[in-house]
Amino acid sequence: MSMNVVHSGDTFQIYSDALKTYDKLPLGSYEVNFHKMMGFFLKSHSDLEINESKIYGQIDEKVEKVLKGFSFVNRNFGIILSGRKGIGKSLFARQLSIRAKDYNLPLIIVPCYFPGIADFLSSIDQEVIVLFDEFEKTFADKDDFSPQEEMLSLFDGIDSGKKLFVITCNEVSKLNSYLINRPGRFHYHFTLSNPTASEIEEYMTDKLQPQYHHYIKKLIGFSMTADLTYDILRAIAFELNMGYSFEETLADLNISKETNPKYNIRAVFEDGSVREVFSQYMQTHGKDRIYLWFNSKTGTSNDTIRLDFNPTEIIYDFDNGRLYLDPALVGSYVDDDYFYMDKPEDVAKYEYLKNLKLVDIQFTRIVEDPSMRKFAL
């Protein structure tokens, strides 16, 4: 049986022939660990994988941009991936680690903060990816010191080796101010947002059985009022494919239903007249019909028509980028209490309005806070 002798300083350690030494980390995935007796060490970690056969949105494009940028510099390079939970940050990081194998870049995962971790990472003298998931939590500021500040010199690139640092975070406000707006430390900051209408259409077309494709426009209409992630879309597709209705799916799923946005609603009738409702709060996932009085520009009560509809029927017009309802799904009512029914002219007007056909009804969401607007990745 052979042995291996490791000499460090004035110490000689004896190991079996199972010991292997390398001048570089082999291509693979590792996790940083710490033991009070052993100090820092890397432990093998299973490679990050993606179970989806297709990646949606612009993740592939941005991953290639990151790797291209990293290959062009001769120092450390960092990116920040921010956005709500379930929005795709982990998917981005996984795809980046997979593509990085083509560049012979090992992946080092940092699960939490240990005092001295910056010096340990700095000692790794080769090109690697270093991933900090939910950095604002795992490296949260303490009462007497800031773990994030301890990492600044490492991120600056004042060390040996060249590393690609990847930070994911749910709350940008909890990141150290010296990390934001500092492209010398973190060159890119990708803010991942909700899927766009076209991305939802592509995803649901792929995931839904053909007999349920008619729900796609309704779902896109719903996305105009609620924050939908790919994680939520996956769950919705799962329920619809089991045969449950759109309304039941939204009611039963573990997704936020508190969004209650305001809309301006514009109704156009066959005679060209327009009646509107302004700043109407409305939940598009509700099962109950909504009853609203639409006033004409005259402002008189005997020119008002009540319309009723199910908000879950609102759909999105891809070509024109608008929310609308099929007029055939809208009920109409004119109150005869607003007319003098003993006067022929009032009776005639009442009958006219009662039979007046709706030809178009559109909904425009009122975005009061600019931070609510959607931006593509």
Q: Report the DSSP pairing between strands 77-82 and 163-169.
A: parallel
Reply yes or no on whether the pLDDT at 202 is more than 70.
yes
How far apart CA 284 and CA 228 sit, in angstroms, is 13
Do the Cβ atoms of 40 and 119 come closer than 8 Å?
Answer: no
> CA 176, 181, 182, 183 torsion: positive or negative?
positive
Do the Cβ atoms of 88 and 124 come closer than 8 Å?
Answer: no
Q: Report the pLDDT value the prediction gives residue 369, as an integer from 0 to 100.
A: 36
55-113 pLDDT, tens digit per residue, is 888 899 999 999 999 999 988 999 999 988 888 899 999 999 999 999 999 999 999 99
Q: Report the pLDDT value the prediction gives residue 20, as an integer from 0 to 100.
A: 80
Average pLDDT over residues 233-257: 90
186-201 pLDDT, tens digit per residue, is 999 999 888 888 899 9
The pair phi, psi for residue 110, each rounded to 5°, is: -105, 105
User: If you average pLDDT over every residue of the chain, what do you get?
Assistant: 87
Domain architecture of the chain: domains with CATH: 27-191 (3.40.50.300), 197-252 (no CATH), 262-368 (no CATH)
> CA 62, 68, 73, 77 torsion: positive or negative?
positive
Q: Report the pLDDT value the prediction gives residue 232, as an integer from 0 to 100.
A: 92
State which amino acid sits at residue 351.
E
109 vs 320, residue with greater confidence = 109
142 vs 109, residue with greater confidence = 109
CB proximity list for 312: less than 8 A, separation 6 or greater: 218, 222, 246, 247, 250, 284, 285, 286, 287
Q: Report the pLDDT value the prediction gives residue 74, as an integer from 0 to 100.
A: 87
Reply yes or no on whether the pLDDT at 120 is more than 50.
yes
Q: Report the pLDDT value the prediction gives residue 299, as an integer from 0 to 100.
A: 63
Reply yes or no on whether the pLDDT at 377 is more than 50.
no
Do the Cβ atoms of 307 and 354 come closer than 8 Å?
Answer: no
Reply yes or no on whether the pLDDT at 238 is more than 70.
yes
Q: Report the pLDDT value the prediction gives residue 282, as an integer from 0 to 100.
A: 81
Cα 93 versus chain centre, distance: 14
Q: Report the pLDDT value the prediction gives residue 1, as an integer from 0 to 100.
A: 58
How far apart CA 229 and CA 203 sit, in angstroms, is 11
| pLDDT range class, residue 141, cuts 50, 70, 90 | confident
Reply yes or no on whether the pLDDT at 376 is more than 50.
no
Average pLDDT over residues 121-142: 92
Reply yes or no on whether the pLDDT at 372 is more than 80.
no
Q: Report the pLDDT value the prediction gives residue 258, as an integer from 0 to 100.
A: 52
Greatest mean pLDDT range, 122-136, 313-327, 335-349: 122-136
Q: Report the DSSP pairing between strands 262-269 and 358-366.
A: antiparallel
| pLDDT range class, residue 371, cuts 50, 70, 90 | very low
Going by the DSSP 8-state scheme, the letter that residue 359 receives in this structure is E
Average pLDDT over residues 321-349: 90
Query: Considering just the CA atoms, what is the radius of gyration of the chain in Å?
Result: 30
Exposed, middle or buried, 237 (CB in 10 Å: 0-12/13-18/19+)? buried
How far apart CA 7 and CA 19 sit, in angstroms, is 13
Q: Report the pLDDT value the prediction gives residue 37, as an integer from 0 to 100.
A: 86
Residue from 169, 161, 164, 71 nearest 119 by CA: 161
Q: How far is CA 190 from CA 64, 107, 166, in A?
A: 13, 20, 11
| pLDDT range class, residue 209, cuts 50, 70, 90 | very high
8-52 pLDDT, tens digit per residue, is 777 777 777 777 888 889 999 999 999 988 899 999 999 999 888
Do the Cβ atoms of 179 and 80 come closer than 8 Å?
Answer: yes
Q: How far is CA 365 from CA 282, 283, 311, in A?
A: 10, 11, 13
Q: Report the pLDDT value the prediction gives residue 374, as an integer from 0 to 100.
A: 35
